[in-house]
Amino acid sequence: MLDRRAFLAVCSRFGLTTTLLPGVLWAMADTDGKVTRDMIDQASIIADVKIKDEYKEMMLESLNDFKSDYEAIYKLSIPNSVAPAFVFDPIPADWGTKAEAPKPPMKISSVNVNAGGAPKNIEDVAFYSVRQLADLVRTKKVSSTALTEMYLERLKRYDPTLKFVITLTEDRARAKAKEADREIAAGKYRGPLHGIPWGAKDLLAVKGYRTTWGAGGFENQTIDEDATVVKRLDDAGAVLVAKLTLGALAQGDRWFGGMTRNPWNTQQGSSGSSAGSASATASGCVGFAIGSETLGSISSPSTRCGTTGLRPTFGMVPRTGAMALSWTMDKLGPLCRAVEDCAMVFHAIYGPDGHDRTVKSAAFQWDANLDWRKLRVGYLKNDFEIAPPPQEPPKDEKELTPEEKKRRDEDRVARERGLARRKYDKQFDDAALDKLRSMGINLIPLELPKLPYQSLRPILLAEAAAAFDDLTRSGRDKLLTEQKPNDWPNTFRTARFIPAVEYIQASRARTIAINEVNKVFSQVDVIVAPTGSTQLVVTNFTGHPAVILPNGLRGDDAPKPIVRDGELQPGGPGTPTSITFLGQIFGEAKLLALAKAYQDATGFHLKHPTLAANS
């Protein structure tokens, strides 16, 4: 029989290299029960991937977590009839572009904010909703140029504190604003986004400006095209004033220039990865912003900064010209100060563009007067309850190093504080349900199917590693700002060890999740849930849309956040909470209608942070 080294040598002679790497590693682990450093060494020889010794220890925990994920999916006993959750399309992307179908007209709310004429101080409108700003611009009480200059000045004033700008697009903005003013003066009004300044998460390409993806090594990258979303907002007459921060390669709020801050507490990060989009919008420094979500990147910063975010149905907004992290999960959407703002921005950017083949020809018609009282509304009963955090099995003190003991104690404190925050925040979740009932809504208790949703994560990780394969292979991953075990460099390395079979199996499990979760959504039009509950992972994998709403501010009695790894954790007095409304696939119109009714009834979105420049 061949020994292991001889087997590897035979494989190499026959050119069986990268394709065998994950399977060989998995087979080794299956024999011994756990992946070891020696296994990484031997498997990496097959793959012809050099992995530095300093990285190998960092990889081991993730690799063994993958093993648990595979086993959870095995237990599903997936029938042969279940296909993966992706569909092959043989049509080339450049086969031909069909003319975009006309969009149904919007029915926006009536508003009159200019009865007294133009504002005495232009900054008085900095926190206005897009709907309010649109009324001022349409009636010529405020010019697009004046709004643009005001927001540019505020971006410059507060960026040193909040660090939400990567690049100001001043020349482009001033030219577009002047064009908007000329058109409106000539009676050529394009609609409610005409003349409204906005900010783009810097994973959207814009001609003539760098597109950095927030990442070290990409600081001077330029892409000679405008993303489809940028083109469509140009067509709507909106004015791009800035390219805003994102955590490096769409993770967190740390980018090559520092950490984007939460305007409610500048000692905290703004969360991410749509870090700058949320922070700048919440700070009254843009009229609205575009962000993206793969697994929480609109939801989380909207919660932290108190913005209203729309994560559309997967396949509603083209991602052409946007950085890819996960081709089967990435979604672009607006972060705004009000629900109707999200509806108006979404109306401008949704629909096929002939290039992103995931985008469907599904209609969206915003009607601010839709009778939300007729909607069927459910709530995820179990998600509103507090489950105790999982406890780590006790370890023999003699086996722990001083560093391991320190980390264990930190983990215990973090779990205790996290539980205290969840218990405190429950009052806001419960109040949301009470408010909805007081509005005459009969809330239907629901529960999501019990499936191993967390074990679907290898889909995201494998796709992300493939998207940035050259970064890993070239060693340029060392240029990224963050290098901890859960950061992209280590994640990309470990994801190379996910077997192709396990990726396909996870995708087949995803098909089961999509089918079962849709059975729940078929019972109602909208579902209410805590933002950070199980649904966040579930609905990002199933592609359902979500609206994240401000839901009140924590009081002075709120548990104080802890400092961990040198960073102030979320929560604490005076910071926002949120609630999430979920919709059926392509059900944005009903979803947004109920969310607007709740927002109008509570008014939490009207609260704004007190800002201090250069604090």
Find residue 254's DSSP bridge partners: 259
Q: In 310-330, which positions are buried (b, 16+ CB within 10 angstroms) versus exposed (e)?
A: bbbbbbbbbbbbbbebbebbb
Question: Of 250 and 51, which is predicted with more confidence?
Answer: 250
Structure tokens at 453: 């949703």
47 band by pLDDT with thresholds 50, 70 and 90: low
63 band by pLDDT with thresholds 50, 70 and 90: confident
* 376 SS3 class: coil
1 C-beta neighbours (distance < 10 Å), count: 4
Averaged pLDDT for residues 41-54: 76
Residues 337, 249: contact at Cβ < 8 Å?
no
Find residue 579's DSSP bridge partners: 549
- pLDDT at 16 > cutoff 50: no
Q: How far apart are CA 550 and CA 552, in angstroms?
A: 6
19 band by pLDDT with thresholds 50, 70 and 90: very low
Structure tokens at 4: 């292991």
* 448 SS3 class: coil
**pLDDT in the model for residue 480:** 93
Backbone angles phi, psi at 348, to 5 degrees: -75, -25
**pLDDT in the model for residue 367:** 98
User: What is the enclosing helix (H) or strand (E) of 578?
Assistant: strand 576-583
Residues 280, 155: contact at Cβ < 8 Å?
yes
Averaged pLDDT for residues 250-266: 98
- pLDDT at 200 > cutoff 50: yes
What is residue 127's DSSP assignment?
Answer: T
Q: Determine the topology of domain 125-360 in CATH.
A: Amidase signature (AS) enzymes (3.90.1300)
**Cis, peptide link before residue 273, omega less than 30° from 0:** yes
Q: How far apart are CA 528 and CA 10, in angstroms?
A: 57
185 C-beta neighbours (distance < 10 Å), count: 11
Find residue 308's DSSP bridge partners: 336
Decide the pairing of beta strands 563-564 and 546-553: unpaired
Packed helices 500-521 and 21-32: angle between N→C axes, nearest 10 degrees? 80
Per-residue pLDDT tens digits for 265-290:
999 999 999 999 999 999 999 999 99
Q: How far apart are CA 562 and CA 475, in angstroms?
A: 35
Strand residue runs (E) in 412-515: 443-446
- pLDDT at 26 > cutoff 90: no
* 548 SS3 class: strand
514 band by pLDDT with thresholds 50, 70 and 90: very high
CB neighbours of 219 closer than 8 A, spacing ≥ 6? 210, 212, 256
**pLDDT in the model for residue 610:** 95
Per-residue pLDDT tens digits for 91-117:
776 665 555 668 999 999 998 776 667
- Highest mean pLDDT: which of 322-336, 466-480, 557-571? 322-336
Per-residue pLDDT tens digits for 342-392:
999 999 999 999 999 999 999 999 999 999 999 999 999 999 999 876 666
What sign has the CA pseudo-torsion 517, 72, 327, 311?
positive
57 C-beta neighbours (distance < 10 Å), count: 11
| Side-by-side strand order, sheet with 265-269 | 261-262, 265-269, 567-568, 563-564
Residues 47, 17: contact at Cβ < 8 Å?
yes
**pLDDT in the model for residue 615:** 47
* 378 SS3 class: strand
Structure tokens at 597: 């009714």
C-alpha separations of 209 from 157, 167, 185, 232, 486 in Å: 21, 8, 29, 18, 31
**pLDDT in the model for residue 118:** 83
Question: Of 58 and 23, which is predicted with more confidence?
Answer: 58
Closest CA to 159 of 53, 244, 230: 244
- pLDDT at 326 > cutoff 90: yes
Per-residue pLDDT tens digits for 133-156:
999 999 999 999 999 999 999 999
Q: How far apart are CA 518 and CA 501, in angstroms?
A: 26
2 band by pLDDT with thresholds 50, 70 and 90: very low
Residues 378, 527: contact at Cβ < 8 Å?
yes
Find residue 423's DSSP bridge partners: none
Mean pLDDT of the chain: 91
The conformational region for residue 543 under phi > 0 = left, psi -120 to 50 = alpha, else beta, is left
What are the structural domain ranges in the chain? Answer: 4-81+454-501, 125-360
Closest CA to 212 of 242, 204, 274, 228: 204
Backbone angles phi, psi at 128, to 5 degrees: -65, 155
